[in-house]
Chains A and B, each alone.
Chain A
Amino acid sequence: MNNLINILQYQFVERAIIAGLFLGIVCAVMGVFLVLRKMSLIGDGLAHISFGAIAIGIVFGFYPLVTAIPLVIIASLIIYALTRKHIIEGDAIIGILASLGLAMGVILSSISTGFNVDIFSYLFGNILSITQPDLLFVIIGSIIILSIIILFYQEFMAISFNPEQAQISGIPVTILDILFSIITALTVLMSIKLAGALLVSALIILPASSSLQIAKSFQNTVLLAIVFALVSILIGIIISFVFNIPTGATIVTVNAIIFFAILIIKLLKAKELSYRNM
């Protein structure tokens, strides 16, 4: 217990926990909508694009987000536009842009050896290295994203349920899809310091997927996803600090353990029920 209190006395841990709590809530909520809309992979794709976009900023001496925010939002909108018009399948365009983003990051880091450490911290993530400006970006970004979700909660739910029926209800589906693409890009960008480009999509997919296994209502799905995300982040930060292992990977592992535990319990219960009914 004393160790835990000691951990919290470090300012960088305090920053990590505050950022983690905000990101946990945002990723969990966005995750529910993305998983239900079969857009889980977009998190992975945008994260890889972010890596390339951040590398551009670092190499040219900008604060990385200055280049990353517009580039990743543009990429997210390109994915939306091409998928919507059926010009190319969603997973294909995500794969193409993700590969391009990763390739850009690798090339830029190879020609600017001095910045390698910075760039690779975005690839693997380290929430304990989060700076004051990063924290500010996370807090402001989270408040904006959550406000948008609260304001358009019914609309986003209706579109996730059935986009055609949502349009018939008079919902401006295209405008809200564009807004959703922008906040998805922001969510990924904010989370990249926490889990890294390689693992950020897990933060979005796993809490929502765990919650979807057990929740019966949409509201409970969102709330449970938030609970799973926050528990994983807090446990993950503490374990990673105590055992000196990478934070992002530890958080994702805790998330995955929760998901598989729920899945196994659910399958065992279903098996037990089918035995009883025999």
Chain B
Amino acid sequence: MQNPIISIRNLSVEFNSIKVLDDINLDIYQDDFIGIAGPNGAGKSTLIKTLLNLNNYTGEINLWDKPLNKFKNWNYIGYLPQSPNQYSHQFPATVEEIVALGLISSLDFPRILDKKSLQRVKDILTELEIIDLTKTSIHDLSGGQRQRVWLAKALVSEPKVLILDEPTNALDPEIRQVFYKQITKLHKQGVAIILITHDTSDIGTYAKKLLLLDTKVIFWGEFSDICNSDKMSSYFGEAAKHLICHQHE
């Protein structure tokens, strides 16, 4: 039995004395593709940000068998945040410069970009078919192009797990499909995927396990288990249940 890459025990998070996460227990493995779902305010993004050491918490979090506060290999984790476009509208940067920022976690001090690093940036841009945008300003990109640039930034350090927080919110259906095709390909190459989305059909189509969250864990496990239970209808409704479970029949 392989060790979990992420292990969470009795995790609770409070903001202003309000419990946002309550007694969460999870083990995530290298071959997992997990969909995290739940209503607004269920604590989905809080869970991810806590895993990324951005929140205070009680309980225990281990990443690759190391306690979170002692974990140093941040290049193991690629993260595509919910609102990656939150930067100064003035910020002057090319696609190459932004993607290179994703390498910081894998560079030793002084973190100066050498030829090898720049080649890695070129490789990931080629892989995601945006190499022709290398010297383009990030302000001159379309929504779909920008999303690929953020994905390139998340992937450039060759992470072992990729965390996607509502990654396709602003994308039209065609670009969305291309995006998920790339994610599925990455998963096949051995990258664990954690996907938060409101879109139940995306979860049903791509994820293998479901974490249903509403401050507490409502369901955690294989789709086949939840599809046979009442929880599915009560949380998603009959139509969504059909859509999700149909993919896993």
Q: Which of A's residues lie within 8 Å of B, judged by CB?
A: 35-36, 38, 151-155, 157-158, 160-162, 164-171, 212, 215-221
Contact = CB atoms under 8 A, between A and B. Distances in A.
A216 B135 CA distance: 9
B23 interface: no
Contact of A212 (B92, B102, B110, B135): B92
Interface stretch (B34-42, B79-87, B186-194, B198-206): B79-87
Given A153-B112, A155-B111, A169 B91 contact: no
Contacts, number: 78
Contacts of A153: 112
Nearest to B73: A170
Contact of A161 (B52, B93, B107): B93
A253 B88 CA distance: 27
Interface in B54-97: 54, 72, 74-75, 77, 79, 81, 86-88, 90-94, 97
Contacts of A152: 110-111
Contacts of A36: 88, 90-91
Given A160-B91, A168-B74, A218-B92, A154 B105 contact: no
Given A216-B94, A216-B137, 15 more contacts: A153-B112, A154-B100, A154-B101, A157-B101, A161-B87, A161-B101, A162-B86, A165-B81, A166-B104, A168-B77, A169-B74, A169-B105, A212-B92, A216-B135, A218-B94
Contacts of A170: 72, 74-75, 104-105
Contact of A216 (B79, B86, B92, B112): B92
B47 to A, nearest CB: 14
A163 to B, nearest CB: 10
B229 to A, nearest CB: 35
B57 to A, nearest CB: 15
Contacts of B135: 216-217
A167 B91 CA distance: 18
A217 B111 contact: no
A215 B92 CA distance: 7
Contacts of B137: 216-217
Nearest to A221: B92
Contacts of A164: 54, 81
30 contacts: A35-B90, A36-B91, A152-B111, A153-B112, A154-B100, A154-B113, A160-B88, A160-B91, A161-B87, A161-B93, A161-B101, A165-B79, A165-B81, A167-B53, A168-B77, A169-B101, A169-B102, A169-B104, A170-B72, A170-B75, A212-B90, A212-B92, A216-B92, A216-B135, A216-B137, A217-B92, A217-B97, A217-B135, A217-B137, A218-B94
B98 interface: yes
B137 to A, nearest CB: 4
Pairs A-B, 10 closest by C-beta atoms: A170-B74, A169-B105, A216-B137, A217-B94, A154-B111, A169-B104, A221-B92, A170-B105, A218-B93, A151-B110
In this complex, which of A157, A170, A221 has the most chain B Cβ atoms within 10 angstroms of its Cβ?
A170
Interface in B110-135: 110-113, 135
Contacts of A218: 91-94, 97
Contacts of B94: 216-218
A161 B98 contact: yes
